[in-house]
Chain A
Amino acid sequence: NAGVMQNPRHLVRRRGQEARLRCSPMKGHSHVYWYRQLPEEGLKFMVYLQKENIIDESGMPKERFSAEFPKEGPSILRIQQVVRGDSAAYFCASSPVVANEKLFFGSGTQLSVL
């Protein structure tokens, strides 16, 4: 049973480009969470999704960021018109049920904005 798969592992974008980060949850998991870790900071919650629904997006910046978890395929975190301040590690986690203990994290995507 593969773990949470994130790709790409490293993503380099120039200012103004779009970044698309993908997350495939563990098999059988229908709850997905995205976290961001800025340099020298702790992880910050961004958004919680279930299949086709955004449940809690209280941690998402108001502009340029969006997330989806379609019925088929991976969850996508999309950042439009990236800026240098978006450079960070983006971690995805999944869980099989609504729970705060049974979270499994992916290896993350390191986004670098030039």
Chain B
Amino acid sequence: RKEVEQDPGPFNVPEGATVAFNCTYSNSASQSFFWYRQDCRKEPKLLMSVYSSGNEDGRFTAQLNRASQYISLLIRDSKLSDSATYLCVYPGGTSYGKLTFGQGTILTVHP
């Protein structure tokens, strides 16, 4: 089983919609994750950290469900500029940047 798995999508939503992605993970001891964003195979950029208490930043909310071993990303009031690939990332049990990236979920927001 992969350490992190994502539905590759694509998700096609209209502007203003609310959309949510899930990512399942295999290591039950994991306590933190990240969501990264990648545009057109450019460099990935950190979007949010995800801890057991959850995290909210403007229109973006991330949650960690340890019982069911998944993390989620909720985007409210979608903008055209939100179109990107969203990567679920597991720190891999190290204190340094050895990250395990999911395959990514493609989001397209249309007018």
Report A's interface with B, CB cutoff 8 A: 31, 33, 35, 37, 41-45, 48, 55-56, 58-59, 89, 91, 93, 95, 98-101, 103, 105-108
The contact of A107 among B42, B49, B96, B98, by CB within 8 Å, is B42
Q: Give the secondary structure class of A's interface.
A: strand
Instruction: Return A72 CB to nearest CB of chain B, in Å.
Output: 23
B20 within 8 A of A: no
Contact with A along B74-100 (1 / 0, CB 8 A): 000000000000010001101111111
- Whether the Cβ atoms of A55 and B97 lie closer than 8 Å is no
Determine the distance from Cα of A31 to Cα of B91 in the docked complex, in whole angstroms: 16
- Whether the Cβ atoms of B96 and A48 lie closer than 8 Å is yes
The contact of A101 among B34, B94, B103, by CB within 8 Å, is B34
Instruction: Return A69 CB to nearest CB of chain B, in Å.
Output: 14
Determine the distance from Cα of A108 to Cα of B100 in the docked complex, in whole angstroms: 18
The contact of A44 among B34, B41, B42, B101, by CB within 8 Å, is B101
- Whether the Cβ atoms of B42 and A99 lie closer than 8 Å is no
6 extra interchain contacts, Cβ-Cβ under 8 A, other than A43-B99, A44-B101? A56-B94, A91-B43, A98-B95, A103-B46, A105-B43, A107-B42
The number of chain B residues with a CB under 8 A from chain A is 22
Q: Give the secondary structure class of B's interface.
A: loop
B9 within 8 A of A: no
- Whether the Cβ atoms of A45 and B45 lie closer than 8 Å is no
- Whether the Cβ atoms of A95 and B97 lie closer than 8 Å is yes
Determine the distance from Cα of A105 to Cα of B19 in the docked complex, in whole angstroms: 27
A-B contact pairs, 28 of them (CB 8 A): A31-B97, A35-B99, A37-B41, A42-B101, A42-B102, A42-B104, A43-B101, A44-B101, A45-B92, A45-B98, A45-B100, A48-B97, A55-B96, A58-B98, A89-B41, A91-B43, A93-B97, A98-B95, A99-B97, A100-B95, A101-B49, A103-B46, A103-B99, A105-B43, A105-B45, A107-B43, A108-B41, A108-B42
